[in-house]
Structure 1
Amino acid sequence: MYTCPMPQDSVFSDKPGKCPKCGMDLVPMEDHSMHSAQDMSDNMDSAKGYTCPMHPNVHSDTAGTCPVCGMQLEKVKPASEPKAVSLNTLLKPSNQQVIANVPMIHMMTREEDIEMVSYGFINYDTRQTGVISSNFSGRIEKLYVHYRYQKIAKGQRIMDIYSPELLTAQENLLFLLKNDSENAMLINAAKQKLYLLGMSNQQLNSVIKTGKPSYKVSVFSNYSGHIHESNSTGMNNNQPGSIQSVPVTTEELSVKEGMYVQKGQNIFSVYNPNRAWALLNIFTGQATMVKVGDKVRITPETNPGNDFRASINYIEPIYRSGSKTVTARVYFDNSSYKIPIGSQVKATIFAGDRSADWLPEEAVLSLGMDKVVFVRTGEAFMARKIETGITNKHLIQVLGGLDKTEAVAANAQYLMDSESFIKTN
């Protein structure tokens, strides 16, 4: 078998001749079929003398020129073995040192004004919620509200209800007035029953004046605000057309004309948008710093220039479902701010002064759950894990793992990026 002496040409032939690419004479190929891999490795390791830099298969015990290309032969250099890194070294805990000349700082002990940023949203103050209920059983004949968040006023008619119970009570009063008008005790008792069933003075006087019972009685709101379906389940779900609770995202009320209501059932809730609270999410690491009475500055996203100051009124003692934060409530009068319910807000909480040990944020490297600093040890920097607390104004509280006399690199990220300076012990 013959081949071109220029390996990049990749020309092979079973008889002598010239290379069709470069024109050089084809040379015979050495037969290695009888050689084992170990033999070839031994030959390479024991190779001495001179070889052609362009044709490694050319060897000579003395200096000279390559018979193929005419280049000067070079002395063979023994191959160097790569130094292996053990798996134990790769898997052992971090004990790296960094040799560099970088700025250093010391841990600072001083009193800092604690300011924490939190985020949340505006919601109705549920302490100001009004309820529209039915004092008698019956069927909704006419409904005057149809959508959630629909604005209503105090005294506004909400619905008309037909009630057999109320109709019977009116007929009893009219019967007494007609047939036993001198019996003041029974007449007053009949009137009182109608009042308790929800009839107003105006409605009752109209029945007495006309001498005819009213088949439909109107229900009015005692509150102003936004109307919502009540979450109360005090109704008989087996009753045809009974009211069911609806998801928060439903816009149209599920209460419809023709539905039946039960005596004492809460049908609607009325929320006052002028009485609201901000619900702020406080992370676990900050929860111990926040207390009732702390001043807070609220900045609504809908109008950043319309920020205001208030105080934290209540901190919920439990975590809400699916949340890893504690909720703090800030009550405020929304009649002047007019912040839309549901708006996102940013809050700056002023948690007072705290004396502690501090390091700049850039001096501490975050490795997931661990915090690391580079401590100056002799002429090098040693990575060390420390315990940290809160973050305040680009400063991190140091709880342990570092002495005040020890110097650390001012910028830990700079050392981590300088991989060429890292040596693994």
Structure 2
Amino acid sequence: MMSTPVVKIIMALTVGIVIGAGVVTLRDSQHTMVDAQKGGADEKKPLYWVAPMDANYRRDQPGKSPMGMDLVPVYEESQGEDKFGPGVVKISPHVVNNLGVRTGKVISGALQQHINTVGYVQYDEHKLVHIHPRVDGWVDNLYVKAVGDEVEQGQALYDLYSPELVNAQKEMLVALNQADQQLIEAASKRLRALKMSTDFIEQLIKTKQVRQTVTFYTPQSGVVKNLKIREGYYVQPGTTMMSIGQLDHVWVEVEVFEREASLIKVGLPVVMTLDYLPSRSWQGQVDYIYPSLDASNRTLRVRLKFTNTDKALKPNMLARVQIQSDSTQNTLLVPKESVIRTGSQNRVVLALGEGQFKSVAVEIGRIDEMHIEIISGLNEDETVVTSAQFLIDSESSKSSDFKRMTFDEKPKSVWMQGEVHSVTEQSRQINVTHGPVDAWNWPEMTMDFDVGQEVDLDALKVGQTLHFEVTLLESGSYQVTGIHIMAEPQIPTATVKGVINHVSHRDRTVNISREAIEKWNRAAATMDFVVDESLPLADFKVAQEITFTFEVRDDLVIVDIKGVNSGEHDAHTGH
């Protein structure tokens, strides 16, 4: 006879057609069987009846569950000391078969994480060349006609007439006539400094004929990125006439979340795909990691580099990239589907052998496509359940050595993507059209969300597309608790003093002799600037001394000016 009987629930789970008439008997791992000689003992009577799919639905007599299934009897059983601790359950072998219980091993191996993000194809700025004149002059002939024209190294770009170039040629002829080697060398250096080609200088020495126009050639092969001149244009030093970019290699700039920053290293392999060529992928690598984190979005900018020999990658194309981080060696891994994840606890169901199972709590780490890293709670070569573990866990958790889990398939927080239609500051609400949310079984919808106090409401703008986190509150309402906005590129800006030389009302440009820009290590120069549409040209006077602010866009654009001595703005930008 047993000393102290302990009550253990034995449940029979009848799972529709799959299980049929199979009965799942849940016992403690060290349940002491009644001695064979006691086989004639009285048949045990059920304590109560429960629904096979809901152990919380109990009745004192047989009947039907809310789902129309027969209630299952629960009997009193006694047990001895359990070597596996409380919470062990036992399932009949044929029912294990019917339930489709599958298992997998806890292994030690490498975890390979992938970081998915998006970016835009750009020119390789290391190979981007800007063409500027060294003298004042007029463009007589222009050999490239449009942005995107392909050019080969040494190809003629434009002919320039400049009195200064004519004088430099005459100085060479004077030196040649005097047969003064020092003067010849000095004149030759000046011609090279003015970017005249070696062939041109040699021809000048040979023919001793001064040319009124000088032809200038492209320093590299590539495509014309910007073209700011036409035949007849007057140009000066500092005028950006055009840019020549190469497409043999391209850059893609992306952003990754702060939590993924530690995984990024220079040289990591990257796989890129484009929407317009979905069947093709490109292999590249991480080329540069920017030194600072974006303070508002908590993202890190990363530059990727790709080979583009067939010129299929075009600047400004949207690219989807996957950065393959270094694998983590000698870490404990379990199949991804084996972990039961909740907001308060993560657990797996251990297969102990002989039909015995037990739920145990685990601490998880990183996750890849197939596995989850286990930091604590399991040992190598243990066996975990990878399917039907929720049924077993629901019974094991009743008496296991941790608080019973209330499994909720609906997570408390999810990230989704959407477009902002309106922002109401008074009530801290936004109206958003978001995409489907699989975790909550939501279709694409347009709806209002409250915005949590921890979110910067000023960062939300109408028409903005962003990722945002929505949390289900205890009150049953939904609240935006986090946002992620991809950072826009910063426009370089400088403020400097200068004197206006010329104002062109036709193309809204002014020629200014400006002072040096110390923060960019730029010497003083005379150059053209475009006036922003928000500034009236009437405020720009020839010979006027001004302090002005300009932005480096495709052109150098003045966005604010004031007179040097007035102390007040003569014009204000609309920015």
Length-normalised TM-score, structure 1: 0.52
Question: For 1:306, what is the secondary structure of its paired residue?
Answer: strand
How many residues are treated as equivalent by the alignment? 281
Distance of 1:221 and 1:337 partners within structure 2: 20
Secondary structure of 2:112's aligned partner: strand
Partner of residue 122, structure 1: 121
Please tell me the residue identity of whatever aligns with 2:321: K
- Is the Cα contact below 8 Å between 1:285 and 1:389 reproduced in 2? no
For residues 296-330 of structure 1, what are the alpha-carbon distances to aligned partners after superposition, in whole Å with 9 as ceiling and x for unaligned? Answer: 33334333443244433332222469754323333
Residue matched to 2:322: 347
Question: Residue deviations 1:253-294, cap 9 Å, x none?
Answer: 333344443346654332210022333332222222232343
Residue in 2 that maps onto 1:279: 253
Q: Which amino acid aligns with 1:392?
A: D
Q: Does 1:186 align with 2:183?
A: yes
**Aligned in 2, Cα 1:220/1:322: closer, same or farther, shift over 3 Å?**
farther
Structure 1 residues 169 and 391: alpha-carbon distance in aligned structure 2, compared to 1, 3 A threshold: same
Q: Which residue of 2 aligns with 1:76?
A: none
What is the rounded CA distance, in whole Å, between the counterparts of 2:221 and 2:273 in structure 1? 27
Residues 268 and 322 of structure 1: is their aligned pair in 2 closer, same or farther, counting only changes over 3 Å? farther
Q: Distance in 2 between matches of 1:200 and 1:99?
A: 91
1:295 maps to 269
Deviation at 1:352, TM superposition (A): 0.7
1:198 aligns with 2:172: no
Amino acid at match of 1:353: T
More strand by share: 2
* 1:317 aligned counterpart, secondary structure: strand
Q: Secondary structure of 1:312's partner? A: strand
Give the % identical residues. Answer: 22
Gaps of 5+ in 1: 1-97, 230-252, 366-370, 377-385, 418-423
Residue of structure 2 equivalent to 1:325:
299
Aligned-pair CA distance for 1:350: 3.6
Relative to structure 1, is the Cα distance of residues 321 and 219 closer, same or farther in structure 2, using a 3 angstrom cutoff?
Answer: farther
Aligned residue number for residue 142 of structure 1: 141
In 1, Cα distance between equivalents of 2:405 and 2:269: 36
The amino acid of 2:113's aligned partner reads E
Residue 368 of structure 2 is matched in structure 1 by 392
Q: Please give the secondary structure, in 2, of the residue aligned with 1:318.
A: strand
In 2, Cα distance between equivalents of 1:212 and 1:181: 16
Deviations 1:10-57 (A, max 9, x none): xxxxxxxxxxxxxxxxxxxxxxxxxxxxxxxxxxxxxxxxxxxxxxxx
CA distance in 1, matches of 2:259, 2:334: 16
* Residue of structure 2 in register with 1:223 after alignment: 220
Measured against aligned partners, the alpha-carbon deviations of 1:107-166 in whole angstroms (never above 9, x if no partner) come to x89655232242233322222223333233323333333433332211111122221211
SS in 1 for 2:192: helix
Instruction: Say which of 276, 286, 300 aligns to 1:312.
Output: 286
**1:170 maps to 2:182:** no
2:32 is aligned to: none
2: CA distance, partners of 1:332 / 1:212: 48
1:127 maps to a residue whose letter is: H
Q: CA deviation at 1:214?
A: 1.6
* Secondary structure of residue in 2 paired with 1:218: strand
Q: Which residue of 1 aligns with 2:229?
A: 255
CA distance in 2, matches of 1:285, 1:327: 13
Check whether the contact 2:341–2:347 (CA below 8 A) recurs between aligned residues.
no
Alpha-carbon contact 1:279-1:329 (below 8 Å) kept = yes
- Flag the 1:389–1:284 CA change in 2: closer, same or farther, 3 A: farther
Kindly indicate whether residue 408 of structure 2 is the aligned counterpart of residue 412 of structure 1.
yes
Q: 1:212 to 1:113 in 2, by over 3 A?
A: same
- How far apart in 2 are the matches of 1:143 and 1:175? 31
Q: Distance in 2 between matches of 1:297 and 1:156?
A: 36
Contact 1:374–1:412 (CA under 8 A) maintained in structure 2 = no
In structure 2, give the amino acid aligned to 1:280. Answer: V
Q: Would you say the 8 A contact 2:228–2:240 is kept in 1? A: no
Partners of 2:268 and 2:326 within 8 A in 1: yes
Task: Say which one has the larger Rg.
Answer: 1
Gaps of 5+ in 2: 1-54, 58-71, 73-100, 349-361, 380-400, 413-438, 440-474, 476-575
Letter in 2 for 1:299: T
Deviations 1:217-254 (A, max 9, x none): 1111011112223xxxxxxxxxxxxxxxxxxxxxxx33
Higher relative contact order (CA 8 A, sep 6+): 1
CA separation in 1, counterparts of 2:132 and 2:404?
68
Q: Normalized against structure 2, the TM-score is what?
A: 0.40
Corresponding letter in the other structure for 1:335:
T
Separation (CA, whole Å) in 2 of partners of 1:260 and 1:415 = 66
1:55 is matched with: none
